[in-house]
């Protein structure tokens, strides 16, 4: 079981960045801010277990509860495993 760090927009629940494994939460926040150009006030970070994620499913963050939930393909992102740890 690995830890997945998920940075998201606290207004919409849109996932901005995902990293699998041991990465410092501070680095994840900085990466999401830099790539998504979002202010600190609207940036959230949660961790989830890799056991709780089904590869190929679409996800977003429920901002009311700060948990990962399934989403439609239009509003969510899929998690993919690979050499670069990409999201699809």
Average pLDDT for 71-75? 82
CA angle 46, 78, 16 (to 5 degrees): 45
What pLDDT, on the 0 to 100 scale, is given for residue 88? 44
- pTM, whole model, 2 decimals? 0.75
23: left (phi over 0), alpha (psi -120 to 50) or beta: beta
Tokens of 54: 């089904």
Domain range annotation of the chain: 3-78
List pLDDT tens digits, range 6-39.
Answer: 889 999 998 888 877 665 566 777 777 777 777 7
């Amino acid at each position: 079981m690995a830890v997945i760090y998920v940075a998201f927009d606290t207004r919409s629940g849109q996932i901005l960045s995902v990293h699998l494994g041991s990465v410092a939460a501070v680095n994840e926040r900085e990466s999401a801010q830099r790539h998504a150009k979002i202010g600190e006030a609207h940036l959230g970070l949660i961790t989830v277990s890799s056991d709780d994620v089904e590869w190929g499913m679409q996800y977003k963050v429920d901002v009311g509860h700060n948990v990962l939930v399934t989403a439609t393909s239009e509003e969510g992102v899929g998690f993919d495993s690979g050499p670069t740890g990409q999201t699809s």
